[in-house]
């Protein structure tokens, strides 16, 4: 049975993504932030937080974190997992929390789910509005090449144990729709003989696409780099990380 994106998947997401290196990503982000003069701790907003994997790493590093996501199902899992944190449902393009943060993050190519430059620009503007002067936005996106060639062989599959017993069998297939320039992932999962399918779409964004959107959103300066060595991206880079400083300069 086909389900909307990030609904049925929420219950098995952490099992399938157990090997994601959220801890290394957090170290990568926080090292850059500290080197740039941001305090070692403060107030952080984790956008598209999902079930809270990266949110938790920021919390462990001493940050006071709020998580925001558009999926009620993903947030249910996040609140169960991290009951002491604040989670808010909201649209990346329109959210308004009426407060500012030292650090805003959005990881795991979540912004690629915004399928037009206008939508991405709106999300970047909302992030900038929620930063204090001199605050930092950190996010990653798949490039156009990355979305076109997401996985070797075009599919991934496996079995993952579930916390309450049993296991989830997943088979995710990817193809690139040249007519729309979108990557399309069909995520099939089977638990206890029951199957569901979610279809996810992503648009790739290259540095040349991102820079005018960052400027229009109000950021003062930015670095676009590769993980994990902060090297400048090349034409073959499948994913870039962006560190953008809000107007007011570095702290």
Q: Report the alpha-carbon distance of residue 78 to residue 110 in Å, rounded.
A: 16
The answer on 56 and 21 residing in a single domain is yes
**In the prediction, which pLDDT does 202 show?**
98
**In the prediction, which pLDDT does 248 show?**
77
**Residue 7 covered by a domain:** no
Please, which residues have CB within 8 angstroms of residue 65's CB and are 6 or more apart in sequence?
Answer: 43, 44, 45, 46, 55, 58, 59, 85, 86
Residue range 171-196, pLDDT digits in tens:
999 999 999 999 999 999 999 999 99
Residue 229, φ and ψ in degrees, nearest 5 = -110, 5
**In the prediction, which pLDDT does 115 show?**
98
Residue range 59-106, pLDDT digits in tens:
999 999 999 999 999 999 999 999 999 999 999 999 999 999 999 999
Pairing of strands 239-246, 219-225: antiparallel
Helix ranges (H only) for the chain are 10-16, 22-35, 53-60, 72-81, 117-129, 144-148, 207-217
The answer on 210 and 157 residing in a single domain is no
The answer on 124 and 216 residing in a single domain is yes
**Residue 5 covered by a domain:** no
Pairing of strands 43-47, 101-106: parallel
In the predicted model, what is the mean pLDDT of residues 24-53? 98
CATH number of the domain residue 105 falls in? 3.40.50.150
**Residue 10 covered by a domain:** no
Please, which residues have CB within 8 angstroms of residue 72's CB and are 6 or more apart in sequence?
Answer: 89
Percentage of the chain modeled with pLDDT above 90: 96
Pairing of strands 64-69, 43-47: parallel
The answer on 216 and 182 residing in a single domain is no
The answer on 180 and 77 residing in a single domain is no
Domain ranges, residue 242:
17-143+205-246
In the predicted model, what is the mean pLDDT of residues 104-120? 98
**Residue 29 covered by a domain:** yes
Task: Decide: pTM greater than 0.85.
Answer: yes
**In the prediction, which pLDDT does 250 show?**
47
CA angle 102, 105, 106 (to 5 degrees): 160
**In the prediction, which pLDDT does 164 show?**
86
**In the prediction, which pLDDT does 2 show?**
95
Percentage of the chain modeled with pLDDT above 70: 99
DSSP secondary structure string, 55-95?
Answer: HHHHHHTT-EEEEEES-HHHHHHHHHH-TTSEEEE--TTT-
pLDDT averaged over every residue in the chain: 97
Is 251's pLDDT higher than 90? no
Residue range 200-226, pLDDT digits in tens:
999 999 999 999 999 999 999 999 999
In the predicted model, what is the mean pLDDT of residues 162-166? 91
Q: How many domains does the chain have?
A: 2
The answer on 237 and 136 residing in a single domain is yes
């Amino acid at each position: 049975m086909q389900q909307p994106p990030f609904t049925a998947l929420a219950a098995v997401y952490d099992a399938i993504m157990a090997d994601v290196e959220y801890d290394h990503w957090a170290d990568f982000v926080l090292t850059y932030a500290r080197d740039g003069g941001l305090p070692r701790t403060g107030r952080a907003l984790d956008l598209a937080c999902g079930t809270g994997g990266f949110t938790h790493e920021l919390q462990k590093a001493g940050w006071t974190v709020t998580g925001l996501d558009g999926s009620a199902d993903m947030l249910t899992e996040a609140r169960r997992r991290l009951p002491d944190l604040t989670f808010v449902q909201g649209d990346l393009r329109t959210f308004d929390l009426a407060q500012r943060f030292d650090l805003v993050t959005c990881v795991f190519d979540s912004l690629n789910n915004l399928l037009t430059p206008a939508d991405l620009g709106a999300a970047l503007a909302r992030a900038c509005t929620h930063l204090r002067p001199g605050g930092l936005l950190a996010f990653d996106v798949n490039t156009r090449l990355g979305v076109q060639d997401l996985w070797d062989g075009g599919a991934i599959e496996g079995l993952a144990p579930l916390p309450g017993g049993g296991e989830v069998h997943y088979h995710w297939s990817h193809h690139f729709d040249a007519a729309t320039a979108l990557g399309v992932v069909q995520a099939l999962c089977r638990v206890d003989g029951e199957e569901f399918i979610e279809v996810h779409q992503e648009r790739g964004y290259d540095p040349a696409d991102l820079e005018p959107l960052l400027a229009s959103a109000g950021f003062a300066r930015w670095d676009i780099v590769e993980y994990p060595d902060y090297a400048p991206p090349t034409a073959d880079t499948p994913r870039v990380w962006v560190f953008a400083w809000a107007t007011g300069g570095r702290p």
